[in-house]
Amino acid sequence: MRKLILQYKQAWASLKKKPGFVLTVLMTMGITLGALLCVVTLNYLLLVEPLPYPEQERLFVAEHGLIGAKKETKAVAYTYPGLVHLYKSKQAFEQASMMMYGQDVIVSHSSQPLVNIAYVTPDLHQILASPMALGRMFEASEALDTNNPVAMLSYNTWMQEYNGSADILEKKISLSGVSYHIVGVLAEHFVEPELEIIGRKTQVWLPWDYNQAGKWQRQAFDNINGSLKFIGLLKQEVSQSQAQQLLTPLVNDRWQAGLPGDDDFFKGWTINMHVRSVKDRILGESESIAVMLLAGVVGLVLIACANISNLFMARTAEKQRQMAIQAAIGATKKHLFKAMFAETSLLMFMSIILALVLAQFGFYIMQQYLGAILPRVNELSLTPITFASAVLVTIIFALFFAKLSTRMINYRALNTTLQSSGKGSGLQVSKKTRQVLIASQVALATVLVFANFSLLKDAVKTINAPIGFATDNISTLILNFSSSDIPSQEEAKPIMAEIMEKLEALPQVESLAQGNSPLDGFWVRALTSVANNEKYTPFFKSVDHHYFNMIEQPILQGDNFTMAQRQDGANVMIVNQAFAKQLKADGDVLGMQISTGRPDSFKIIGIVKDITIPGDSPTDRDSSALGSGVPRVYVPNGLGGQSFMLKLKSGQTVSRKQLGTLLAEVDSRYSVFSFNAASAILTQTLFAEITTAVTTTVLASLVFLLAGIGLYGILSYGTQLRRFEIGARMAIGATRKHLITMIIGDNTKAVLAGFIGSIVLFALAYISLSEYIQPFLTWQVLPMVVATLVLIILVTLFACYWPLRQYINKAAIYSLRGSD
C-alpha cells in the first residue's frame, strides 16, 4: 500500500512537469470519453433499461393499420368508433386504455396558456401505476360515458402555471366551455409514455368523454385520426401474435360493417391489427440513431486513442534515459510497468472525472436539443451503468497505455542509453510503423472530415432550400371558443366578419387572410378522377381568396378563388403542378372534374406553383409523381373559419394579449388559441436539420482537432527521433530550408498514402452501399474534396514545421549533443 502511494506521488510529480502533455491527454480523452459515456448511457437506456412501469414487459400498444387492395399499408391510425369497439370488447388485454391527444387553452387562467391535453380512460394511470404528487388519479368515476368533469395536472404545469400552489386541489380549470375540478397532480418523477410525438409532454389530463372529436367523427368509420391510441396490459396467457390474430378479425369485421355503403373508396381495403410492445413503439426509429451515435463516438474514441498512443510513445522515448537509470539500479520490468501504470491510471482517472462532468453536461444538451428526436432523454442521468462503464474504460485504457509504453523499452539496449550520455535513440518506432500511423491517421481524418462535410452540406441545403412561399411578417392566429355550444358556420360568419374588420383596422396589420398558413399543415383527402376513376390521396387545404397573394405563391394557369365562390361554397379546386402532373402527364388539367366521394364533383380552375415544406413527402407511395414534388389541392374555405393569417407591417409586432382584448370586445366567448409567426414554425420544422447541422459541425471540428493533434503527435515524434541526424546535417551545412523541405518531403509519401487509403475506404463504401452513396456522387462534391484535402495538408505542414523549429532555430550543437 505504501509502495502504491509512493508510486502515485512520483507519477504526480513527474506529470506536473509536463502540463502540455497532461492537458492534451485530459482534453482528448476527457472529451471523447465524455461523449462515449453519454451515448453508452443513452444506448443502455433505450435498448436495455426497462420502462419505468410495473409489468412493463406486458405493456403493449395495438395499432390500427389500413391495408389497401394491393396489401400495401395505407395508414396507421384508428377510426373513433373502431377504437371504442376495441376497448369495449376487452379482448386479449387484461386492462387497456383509450387515449386521444390534443391541445386547448386554459381559459380560466389569467394568461390563457395553450396546453397539451391527453384524454384518457382511468385505466391508463392504473396500468402505469402513476405516482401522484397530490390527490388521486382517475377512477371508475371517470370511466367511459360517466361525463365527470375532473382533471389531473402534470407536475410542471402545477409548478409553472399555478406556482405549485398548495390549494390546487380546490381549484377548477375551464377549457372549451367546460369547468373541470382538479383531482390530482402527477409526481415529478412520473414518466409519460410518449406514444404520439417524441418529446411532447402532456400538461393536462382529462377524462376520455371530453375529447375533441366531433359528433359525426364519433360515428364515422371512414375517418381516421392519428392521435387516437390504444395501450394496455396483455393477458398473461396471450402472446403478441395471438393477440394480433384475435384482434384483427374483431376490428376488421366491425369496420367493414360500419363503412358507409355508398362510398367505394375503401373497396378491397382491410384492417390489420398490429400489437407491439410499448418499448418498441417508443423506441421506433431511434434505435438506429442511438446505435449510429455509438458507432460514431466509438470511432472518435479510436482516433483519440491512436493519438494518445502516439503521445505516450513519444513520452516513453523521452523518458528512456530515466528508465534506463532506474533499470541500472535494479528496477525490474514489473517495477517500470507499475510506475508507468501509476502515471497512465492517474491520467485516465482525471480524464474520466472530466468525462463524467462532460457527460452530465451532454445529458443536459441532449435533453434540450434532442428531446424532439430521441425518446426518453429526460430519464438520462449518471446511472450505475455510466459509472461502471467509466471504471471499466479507465482501467482498460490505463492498462493499454502502460503496456504500450513499457513494451517499447528495449531492455537489452539500456546500457547504450546510459553510456552515450543521452545520445542516440535506444528505442524507437520503426520508420515503417510511423509511416503507417501517419497514413492511417490521414486516411481516417480525410474520411471523417469528408463525411461530416457531406452531412453538413445536406443539412444546410435543406435549411437553405427555397420553400417557394413567403413567411416574412406572417403569423397565424387561431381562435379558441370557450363554450360547449359551438356556433354553426352561419352563426359564426358575422362574428368572424367583425373580428376581421377589427384585425384589419389594427395599425400594425398590413393584410389579412382567413385560414391558416401552409406551415400549419394540410389534411390528406381521398380523391377520385371522374374521367378515369383513378384514386389519389394528395395534401388538401381550404384557403381564402387572399391566401396565394399573401404567401406569394404564384398562380401559373387559370384563376384564383373569388369571394363569391367562398360565399356559395362553389365546387372549384386549385391544384399544384405536382398533382397536375399526377393527374395528366402533360399537366394540362384545367377544367378536369375531381370527385371527393360526395355527389357533386370539383372542377379544377387553376394551377399554382409547387411549394416545399421541410419534412413533407407524398402520401401515396405508388404515385408516379414520386420525387417530383408533393401533390397538393386547394379548395375555397367558408366564411366561418376561426383561423387567420396576419401579415404585419415590417418591424411591427402584435401581442397575444392585445389580440385577446380585441377578441373579447367582439365576443367574450372567443380567445386566442395560438398566435405563431410562420418563420418560427418553419424553424421548428427544420429542427432536425438544424440539429444535424450543429451536431455535424461540432463533430467535424472535433474530428479535425483530434486528427490534427494525432498528426502533430506522430510527426513531432518522428522529428524528435531524427534529432541527431538533423544535427549532423546542420553540421555539414544544411540550412533551415533544406531541413524543412526534407521533413516535408519524407512525410509527403505517408500523407499521399493516407489520401489513397481514404479513396480506398470510399471505394469500399461505394461498393457495399452504392444505393445510398450514388446520389451524392456528383461534381458538386469536388469543392468538398478539395476543401478536405487543403485542410489536411495545412495541418500536415504545420505538424512538419512546428516540432522542427526547436532544432533548426538553435545552434547546431544542441541537436548534436542532445543537451538543452
Q: How far apart are CA 691 and CA 695, in angstroms?
A: 6
Q: Taking the CB of residue 221, how many other CB atoms lie within 10 A of it?
A: 20
Least Å distance, CB 24 to other proteins, is 19
- Residue 20: helix, strand or coil by DSSP? helix
Which of 323, 611 has the CB closer to other proteins? 323
Least gap, CB of 8 to other proteins (angstroms)? 13
- CB 131 → other proteins: shortest distance, Å? 56
Angle between helices 781-808 and 431-464 (to 10 degrees): 140
Distance CA 40, CA 385 (A): 8
Nearer to other proteins (CB atom), residue 120 or residue 327: 327
Q: Name residue 331's amino acid.
A: A
Q: Minimum CB separation from other proteins for residue 812, in Å?
A: 4
**Spatial contact of 78 and 142, defined as CB atoms under 8 Å apart:** no
10 versus 668: smaller Cβ distance to other proteins: 10
Which CB atom, from 317 or from 699, has the smaller least distance to other proteins?
317
- How far apart (Å, rounded) are the C-alpha atoms in residues 135 and 671? 30
* Minimum CB–partner distance for residue 815 and other proteins (Å): 9
- Residue 115: CB partners within 8 Å, gap ≥ 6? 103, 104, 105, 106, 157, 161, 203, 204
Locate 440 and state its grid cell: 492511417
Cβ nearer to other proteins, comparing 171 with 335 = 335
131-156 burial, b at 16+ Cβ within 10 Å, e below that, comes to ebbbeebbeeebeeebebbbbbbbbe
CB closer to other proteins, 241 vs 809: 809
Judged by CB, which is closer to other proteins: 180, or 312? 312
Footprint on this chain of other proteins (rule: CB under 8 A): 2-3, 6, 10, 13-14, 17, 321-322, 324-335, 411-412, 414-415, 418-419, 421-423, 431, 724-725, 727-736, 738, 808-813, 816
Closest approach of Cβ 33 to other proteins, in Å?
Answer: 27
Residue 403 CB, shortest distance to other proteins, in Å, is 17
Q: Which residues pair with 95 in a beta bridge?
A: 233
Q: Which three cell numbers stand for residue 613?
A: 415544406
* Integer Cα distance of 377 and 114 in angstroms: 24
List CB contacts of 140: < 8 A, sequence separation 6 or more. Answer: 122, 146
Q: Do 380 and 42 contact (CB within 8 A), yes or no?
A: yes
Cα–Cα distance for residue pair 252/262, rounded to 1 Å: 19
Smaller CB distance to other proteins: residue 641 or 727?
727
**Inter-CA distances, 333 with 238, 402, 407, 435, Å:** 63, 12, 9, 29
DSSP tally for the chain: helices H, then strands E: 24, 26
Q: Closer CB to other proteins, residue 417 or residue 637?
A: 417
Task: In angstroms, give the least distance from the CB of 201 to other proteins.
Answer: 57
Closest CB to other proteins among 741 and 780? Answer: 741
CB of 394 to other proteins, least distance (A): 24
Q: Are 566 and 553 in contact (CB under 8 A)?
A: no
C-alpha angle with apex 671: 667 to 675, nearest 5 degrees?
A: 135
CA 76 to chain centre: 22
Output the smallest distance, CB 721 to other proteins, in A: 12
The runs of H, that is alpha helices, within 101-224 are 123-128, 155-162
